[in-house]
Amino acid sequence: MGEFTMPSLGADMDEGTLVEWLVAEGAEVARGDVVAVVETAKSTIEVECFASGTVTELLVEPGTTVPVGTPLAVITPTAPGPPPVTPGPAAEAPPATPLVRHQAADEGVDLQAVHGTGRGGRITRADVSQAARPATGRIAASPLARRLAESLGVDLTTVKGTGSRGAIKADDVRAASGTGSSTPGSTVFTEQAAATGPPPAPAAARATRATPSPGDRLAIARLMSRAKREIPHYYLSTTIDLTEALGWMRQQNSTRPVPARFVPVALMLKAVALAAREVPELNGHWADGRFVPATGVRLGTAVSLRGGGLVAPALADADRMPLPELMASLKDLVSRARHGRLRASETADPTLTVTNLGDQGVESVFGVIYPPQVAMVGLGRITDRPVAVDGMLTVHPTVTATLSADHRASDGATGARFLTALDRLLQHPEDL
C-alpha cells in the first residue's frame, strides 16, 4: 500500500489545509491525476498523486489542517493484469468522480448514456472522451496540446494521437510541427493534469480562493524576513538594448494569429533561462551550508494576485522550451495562478525566479531572493532612451535588468557574466 501525504509546496510551508477531495474511496487514479485541493498560507493548489492504483481509504476530512508529510489517503497499487469489468445497474447518478463529471460537462456528454469501463462500472475520463468523439466530432486533445497547436500553427486533424484512445498530447503536436519533444519527464504532470481540467466549483468558492487572507501577507512577511536575515544579497544591473529583439518579435507576430503572438516578456524569460544554463552558479539552491546546482532550469515567475498577495509558480525546463510553447505555458500559468488553480508540481521550488514590474511603470526592480534559491532577476518597463551609435545620437527601446544574488554562492564577477549573457542573447532573438 502507498500513502498519499500532505506535500511540501514551498520552502516555507510547514502545514496545509485539505480543502476538497476530488476523488472518492474506490476510485481508480493514475500517476499525475489531480486528486485533492490543498490550501497553504499563500495560495490554493491542486495536488496530483504520484502513484497509480485504487483509493482505498481517505484518512483526512476536508477542512482539516495537518503538518507536511501527514498521510491523507491510502492508494493501493493496481494489481498486474486488467481487473474484471462488472458493469453496474443503471442509476440516477452514474458512478463518476467530480473530475469526470466536469469533463463530461465540457464535452457535452450525458453521463446517463455512457457505459463505464472502470471498476464496478465507474465511468472514466476515457469513457467520456470516447462518448464525446461521435457526439460532437471534436478532436480528442489535451488543453495543452490545443494551445500548443494554435501557437505552432499545427492543424490537429493532421496529428496522430498517442494518448488514451488516440487522444492528442502535447508531444504529438511537437512531433507534427518538427520542434521535437521536451526532455523526458518535463511535461508529465502538466500534460496529464491539464487533460483533466480544473474541478467545478461554485462561484462563491472561486471568489474565496482568489481573495488572499491576512495569512497570505504574514506568510510573505515570514519568508522575506528570513531571506533578508539569512541571505547576504548583492545587486547588479544593466541596461539592455531591445531594438533587435522587438524588431524580430514584430516580424514574427505579423504572420501569427493574435492569440499566439509573442510579448516582450516571453523573449526575456527565455533569455534568462538560457543565461542560467550558461552560468549554472546562479541556478540552484543553498542547502545544508552549500550550493546545490540544479540539473535543469525551473524558471519561477512572480505573479501578483488581483486581490493582493504573490505566488511564484515555475516553468519546468524553460531553457529547453521552444518559444511558442513557453509563451502558451506562461499565459496558462499566470491565468491559473490568479484563479487559484495551480498544481502542486508547478509550485515545487523554482531554481531561479524572475519578477517583472514593467507593466506597472517601474523602471528597475531589486528583488528579494526566495530561499532556498540563490538569485532573482528583476525586469523593468521598456523605455526609449538616447543611445550613441557610430557617433550619432539616436533613440532605442531599452530595459533595465537587475540581478539579486546570494554572496554565499557567487560573487560579483559571476553575476556580471550572467547579465552579459542575458544581454548577448537578447541581441540574437532568432536563437531563443
- The strand ranges marked E within 163-313 are 233-241, 284-287, 290-293, 299-301, 303-304, 310-311
- Structural domain boundaries of the chain? 2-81+199-208, 139-197, 231-431
CATH class name, domain 231-431: alpha beta
Domain 2-81+199-208, CATH: 2.40.50.100
For 180-202, write each residue's pLDDT tens digit.
543 333 333 333 333 334 344 44
Per-residue pLDDT at 136 exceeds 90: no
Rounded to whole angstroms, how far apart are CA atoms 321 and 164? 24
Report phi then psi at 106, rounded to 5: -65, -40
For 348-407, write each residue's pLDDT tens digit.
779 999 999 988 889 999 999 999 999 999 999 999 999 998 899 999 999 999 999 999
For 29-88, write each residue's pLDDT tens digit.
988 888 998 877 667 788 888 888 999 989 998 888 888 889 999 998 876 655 555 554
In whole angstroms, how far apart are CA 158 and each of 130, 150, 153, 161, 177? Answer: 19, 13, 12, 10, 11
Using pLDDT thresholds of 50, 70 and 90, give the confidence band for residue 254.
Answer: very high
Q: In the predicted model, what is the mean pLDDT of the chain?
A: 80
Question: What local confidence, expressed as pLDDT, does residue 325 receive?
Answer: 95
In whole angstroms, how far apart are CA 9 and each of 15, 209, 222? Answer: 9, 17, 16
Residues 139-197, CATH architecture: Irregular (4.10)
Rounded to whole angstroms, how far apart are CA atoms 380 and 105? 42
138 versus 392: which is more confidently predicted?
392
Three cell numbers, residue 2: 502507498
Ranges 15-24, 153-162, 288-297, 306-315, most confident: 288-297
